[in-house]
Amino acid sequence: FLPIYNPKYVKMYDNHQLGKLEPHIYAVADVAYHAMLQRKKNQCIVISGESGSGKTQSTNFLIHHLTALSQKGFA
């Protein structure tokens, strides 16, 4: 994997406004997570693409980031 999926990036994209940093799956996860907390409404993220485009891997990274964000409050 590229070195853009590590704890450094989890922290970097935590609670940053969309568009302030380079596009990243962590940014999408972060916006959805914080919108859920602030608005107290469920959020939905749609990942689409052709076969072999990395949808499953993107979903794994997204879930990893959501897990890291949710555990932060319980540390």
- Rounded mean pLDDT, 2-20: 87
Instruction: Report the pLDDT value the prediction gives residue 73, as an integer from 0 to 100.
Output: 63
Q: Rounded CA gap, 69 and 15, in Å? A: 9
Judge whether 70 is annotated as a binding position.
no
Judge whether 59 is annotated as a binding position.
no
Least Cα distance to 25 among 40, 10, 15 occurs for: 10
Instruction: Report the pLDDT value the prediction gives residue 21, as an integer from 0 to 100.
Output: 92
Judge whether 19 is annotated as a binding position.
no
Judge whether 56 is annotated as a binding position.
yes
pTM across the whole model: 0.83
Judge whether 73 is annotated as a binding position.
no
Give tens-digit pLDDT for 38-64: 999 999 999 999 999 999 999 999 999
Judge whether 55 is annotated as a binding position.
yes
Instruction: List, in order, residues 6 or more apart from 42 with CB less than 8 Å away.
Output: 36
Instruction: Report the pLDDT value the prediction gives residue 16, as an integer from 0 to 100.
Output: 84
